[in-house]
Chain A
């Protein structure tokens, strides 16, 4: 696809990009704090990554190599259309290889491969407020953040334990950033939570409908909330990948027929492909 020069570089106008850029800088200065920004209407519906797209538009340079993943996969509708959007409007190179990308926009996963200092990870966030389902009023949640009043979140995790015997929250698992702000890591599986902290790459979070941007600078302390007697546990399906045999990657369960047949495969398609190219083979590989 060719670069469409009818649009400004990376679609957004310069004044909008300046506003988003200022919000990103404040977000980096106060890690985990949600900075309000004047989210724009984008040529895609809310819920399809408008926040992530606006953040990507504000950070992209023409030299960048851009990768988009949706639940780990490069080949889903959302990932394909966002990738071609920036190919058209910013003329950037795109890739599906994690190690080749300088900017990675993601929906609900952190790549398996460890990111480097030269990379930027942009998250699409649906509900940025971790306390929203416990307290619907923005005025109240804002006060709770300002007073560092996070008891309600622990009550929620405790109720999980009393009901299920363990913390049943398995995605969008709340974290505490630099011992100050409780933050929603976006709906990534809690398997990915340990990768949030001490990450060499810059992590930026954009919520378009909710008009919030927040950020984690590299090597920031990010702790998943837990209890002494119920420590946080990063969990995944207890199987190896059916295609590449990996035992250390997050898996998707795929129903293969109506006889109860199922297949577990890596959700990170690039990771799985690299392993298969390197000769690894799972039990279900053809």
Chain B
């Protein structure tokens, strides 16, 4: 086992995950707001933000799908040691991580049922940039907000399914922003 596998987790799990969750919750409650998330040191190619998020929210109860590059031995071993999350395909996951292209197609993921819309996947999209871009509107946003997105149409289709749908968290280095299904991309 590589020493990289054992290191890079939280040194104070209760405190660091409390901080990380507040950032994640703020991002989800205020779509488009960029938050800092850097308490974990995951192996490449996983970003600090994505690594911290996975340590904060995932455990043996949360099936996880690794898409594309992040599905490598180093990441698998690190997540197995620190979270114990079972790795599954896109159809059964609660969380999925990967680049936008690697995560496609979106219709492979659970979007919840009309009686249980919460039983849907959260997609963690590793992005090369995070900043201003598309105009967002909806709950959590006073007037409008702006966020760079890989495309527009997919999010409009997702919004149209509300209350079903996928929730997205975009990670870039040590920063993150969220786009829940309730947000309208103009």
**A226 on the interface (CB 8 Å rule)?**
no
A33–B29 CB distance below 8 A? no
For the complex, give the distance between the alpha carbons of A204 and B111 in Å.
23
> Taking the nearest CB of chain B, how far is it from the CB of A180, in angstroms?
6
> Taking the nearest CB of chain B, how far is it from the CB of A183, in angstroms?
13
> Taking the nearest CB of chain B, how far is it from the CB of A94, in angstroms?
17
Q: Which residues of B contact A36 (CB under 8 A)?
A: 116, 118
B115–A217 CB distance below 8 A? no
A61–B22 CB distance below 8 A? yes
**A21 on the interface (CB 8 Å rule)?**
yes
A residues 131-174 in Cβ contact with B at 8 Å: 142-143, 145-147
The count of residues in chain A whose C-beta lies closer than 8 Å to any C-beta of chain B is: 43
**B99 on the interface (CB 8 Å rule)?**
no
| Segment of B1-9, B56-64, B146-154 engaged in the interface with chain A | B56-64
A residues 36-67 in Cβ contact with B at 8 Å: 36, 58-62
Q: Mark B38-54, 1 if CB is under 8 A from A, else 0.
A: 00000000000000000
B21–A14 CB distance below 8 A? no
A21–B14 CB distance below 8 A? no
The count of residues in chain B whose C-beta lies closer than 8 Å to any C-beta of chain A is: 39
For the complex, give the distance between the alpha carbons of A179 and B167 in Å.
20
| Segment of B69-77, B102-110, B124-132, B136-144 engaged in the interface with chain A | B136-144
Q: Mark B144-183, 1 if CB is under 8 A from A, else 0.
A: 0000000000000000001100010000000000001110
**B24 on the interface (CB 8 Å rule)?**
yes
B residues 17-34 in Cβ contact with A at 8 Å: 17-19, 21-22, 24-26, 28-30
For the complex, give the distance between the alpha carbons of A18 and B22 in Å.
12
> Taking the nearest CB of chain B, how far is it from the CB of A147, in angstroms?
8
A residues 1-57 in Cβ contact with B at 8 Å: 8-10, 14-15, 17-19, 21-31, 33, 35-36
A30–B114 CB distance below 8 A? no
For the complex, give the distance between the alpha carbons of A202 and B139 in Å.
11
A33–B118 CB distance below 8 A? yes
For the complex, give the distance between the alpha carbons of A275 and B181 in Å.
43
Q: Which residues of A contact B114 (CB under 8 A)?
A: 146-147
Q: Which residues of A contact B91 (CB under 8 A)?
A: none
B19–A220 CB distance below 8 A? no
User: Quick one: which of A18, A31, A143, A147 contacts B182, CB cutoff 8 A?
Assistant: A31
> Taking the nearest CB of chain A, how far is it from the CB of B91, in angstroms?
19
> Taking the nearest CB of chain A, how far is it from the CB of B15, in angstroms?
6
Q: Which residues of B contact A219 (CB under 8 A)?
A: 139-142
Q: What residues of chain A have their CB less than 8 Å away from a CB belonging to chain B?
A: 8-10, 14-15, 17-19, 21-31, 33, 35-36, 58-62, 142-143, 145-147, 178, 180-181, 202, 215-221
- Other A-B pairs beyond A18-B56, A23-B118, A217-B182, 5, CB < 8 Å: A21-B21, A21-B25, A26-B120, A33-B118, A145-B115
Q: What residues of chain B have their CB less than 8 Å away from a CB belonging to chain A?
A: 13-15, 17-19, 21-22, 24-26, 28-30, 56-59, 61-62, 94, 113-118, 120, 122, 139-142, 162-163, 167, 180-182
Q: List 16 A-B contacts (CB under 8 A).
A: A8-B14, A9-B14, A14-B17, A18-B56, A22-B94, A30-B118, A30-B163, A36-B116, A59-B18, A61-B18, A143-B115, A146-B115, A217-B30, A217-B182, A219-B140, A220-B140
